[in-house]
Structure 1
């Protein structure tokens, strides 16, 4: 039959749940008989114009609801209806009032900042200046907020003058503003072979071409970067040198120097995403310190202080500042003054740094928990909040993730981060931060450990 495409018209709610509801409808009406093979989630995402993460989450939810089953090495199929309603949902599902154990979202612990943000917001509410924060702001009005950005950049190891600091609504918005301001349709943007995939979606929307720079066990391969520079005339290279997602790799001083030298030699802009940088002890100097005139540096409080505090800062070479200001104005008119004010006060009084240190200690404690439960064989862990796990031979990442979802644990397959899905390793990324209850985290790791010990073989694993 032709590829199954769900009808999402007249459906509300999150897209992944709309897909699940359409799937349930098509199964109930007979459009999808038992045993029908569904398209790979990345293919479905392409046809629907959605992110692979959305369709992967939909398939995981459908497995949990016993609508689908996965078979290692074969794919995902419609499950036969059960005659016994009590058996309609797998009995091994981790049942909790708060749903599946979510190890798929790479966000800091959300609760640490709550009392501090509540206090700061109460202070703002009691002061005379609240009215001005509710009014339209110009760049001139945001001087103290840019000063907060300058202070935060300094804690990240980057020095900047005030006119080189651009406040944005988190790191993702900052990257979008850079692409809008400095690249033209048809320009070539290089990315790491495993990368932050929203950048690919942004580039596609802006008609910017993309290509992948090879990686090895130490991160970006400088020789691959130079090959692209010699033969393809790229405009920019987007990379995450510290605690790279998903691999956790931090580039060495030697590779950073080599990449900076190549970029300078060929006139390639570097877009340095350092949102995880503050979580690492003794990190190497940022690329922005090595090539300050050609590096756009991106940082954010959303990955180190609180996920919902959508405040980030760009450090830009002065020559690009006017274009970036225009890009911010075009995309959002102004970075919201209220959230900037909260960030300003947290940074100025030192609370943002304290909270980052608290997050770093929490990450260390949870990484130790990963080591105790999963061991270290083949697992690539670091100081941040995510872990990279190459899968045992015989496992396909999508089948592994579906089996984990059946047990009530959500993880991300490595293919989700690859520019070319066929080149992706059979690996998973798990995130250990956003589940606030460490007992739930430990249970999720224990369930995942059991799946890792399974040996896929001749008989397909039914999930």
Structure 2
């Protein structure tokens, strides 16, 4: 494909990170909130102290936010406020898996958790998936053969396939976990993006689930705040005791106060609705431009899982996309076994700052992704 010289020299558009699109009014909301915080009587001591597992007010705000997925606010005694979801996953892997023990994931899964596991000397093994996510029979077979400590899942808007697991499948996996004494680690960072989604596994089976979510994918990653919900107060206390002086997972006071304010006054809900609406518009744009392509997507997802036409390999497509001025990553980064990885690419729709920038990128990719007619 011949790329015009002008297009070759433009700054490439990145479709790599699943950053939510930012409403243009968010800066004004942040300025307002920072002004309100500056007028607090305790602002002079705001930066003097760690918040450790989060103050009571931080955890109450977290419980109120989690209630949007759980239907009711969980006990704040079960909540640890963390410096982003990654920190919550690190704490969880240390506490429920441990060095040398096996962690299971779906055969296609978020690569970040594997990097954390590698850092902790935790081997990761994949189990089979179908159109509804992790297969319970494959999970049970792995439980018998591998004696795993935990199963990591992203049941809602799965990364990278966008699959949203049915309630029945969630219950079936929880039943296997309970029978074999295996913990489910639920990453629900995308859970609030769909207008409707089944309850989290953490709500259906709280006794076997460590549940992590945050504001990165529905508000913005710059806040660096997340909520880890453990099965019990005792589990939260144990996790806190192991980490209170050994990690940078403590949420920063300013982020915590912004999150408190926005959850309480409805700003967080307003941003979530705007992000969801923009995600829908961007998915519609992609569907129009990729009309002859094959992919998996959901209306409110920040990404899509593109099956490559036969003329491409993952590597050749990434290179051709770069020549067209668009940065994408190989889908093999999500595969537990690269040799059997599908010829597919995750296309992120949320990361470009404007809809016009995204349209330019997708238009550049259109001749590459559409099947020959």
Q: TM-score range by the shorter chain?
A: over 0.9
Which has the larger displacement, 114-123 or 299-308? 114-123
- Secondary structure, in 3 states, of the residue corresponding to 2:317? helix
Structure 1 residue 140 displacement after superposition: 8.6
- Secondary structure, in 3 states, of the residue corresponding to 1:308? helix
2:17 to 91, 95, 105: 105
Structure 1 residue 187 displacement after superposition: 0.9
Structure 1 residue 338 displacement after superposition: 1.4
Residue aligning to 1:196: 110
Q: How many residues align?
A: 367
Structure 1 residue 443 displacement after superposition: 1.4
- Secondary structure, in 3 states, of the residue corresponding to 1:375? coil
2:241 to 296, 320, 326: 326
- Secondary structure, in 3 states, of the residue corresponding to 1:430? strand
In 1, the alpha carbon distance for the partners of 2:371 and 2:139 equals 39
In 2, the alpha carbon distance for the partners of 1:345 and 1:237 equals 34
Structure 1 residue 327 displacement after superposition: 4.3
TM-score by length of 2: 0.93
Q: Deviations over 1:140-193 (max 9, x none)?
A: 971101111111111122641011111001111110111122222111100111
In 1, the alpha carbon distance for the partners of 2:99 and 2:82 equals 23
Runs of 4+ in 1 over 6 A off after TM superposition: none
Residue aligning to 1:62: none
Residue aligning to 1:390: 307
Matched, 1:263 2:180: no
Contact 2:54–2:251 (Cα < 8 Å) also in 1: no
Which has the larger displacement, 151-160 or 362-371? 151-160
Q: Cα–Cα, structure 1 residues 326 and 111, in superposed 2: closer, same or farther, change >3 Å? A: farther
Residue aligning to 1:418: 335
In 1, the alpha carbon distance for the partners of 2:54 and 2:202 equals 27
2:207 to 284, 293, 307: 293
Q: Deviations over 1:78-99 (max 9, x none)?
A: xxxxxxxxx9x97263544xx2
Contact 1:168–1:328 (Cα < 8 Å) also in 2: no
Select the structure of larger CA radius of gyration. Answer: 1
Gaps of 5+ in 2: none
Structure 1 residue 194 displacement after superposition: 1.0
Higher RCO (CA 8 Å, separation ≥ 6 residues): 2
- Secondary structure, in 3 states, of the residue corresponding to 2:222? coil
In 2, the alpha carbon distance for the partners of 1:116 and 1:94 equals 37
Contact 2:106–2:128 (Cα < 8 Å) also in 1: yes
In 2, the alpha carbon distance for the partners of 1:107 and 1:413 equals 18
In 1, the alpha carbon distance for the partners of 2:315 and 2:204 equals 40
In 2, the alpha carbon distance for the partners of 1:301 and 1:278 equals 10
Q: Cα–Cα, structure 1 residues 104 and 454, in superposed 2: closer, same or farther, change >3 Å? A: same
In 1, the alpha carbon distance for the partners of 2:16 and 2:53 equals 40
TM-score by length of 1: 0.76
Gaps of 5+ in 1: 1-70, 72-86, 456-463
Q: Cα–Cα, structure 1 residues 126 and 105, in superposed 2: closer, same or farther, change >3 Å? A: same
Contact 1:328–1:334 (Cα < 8 Å) also in 2: no
Residue aligning to 1:252: 166
Residue aligning to 1:216: 130
Structure 1 residue 217 displacement after superposition: 2.5
- Secondary structure, in 3 states, of the residue corresponding to 2:55? helix
Q: Deviations over 1:178-221 (max 9, x none)?
A: 11222221111001111111211111111112100111222211
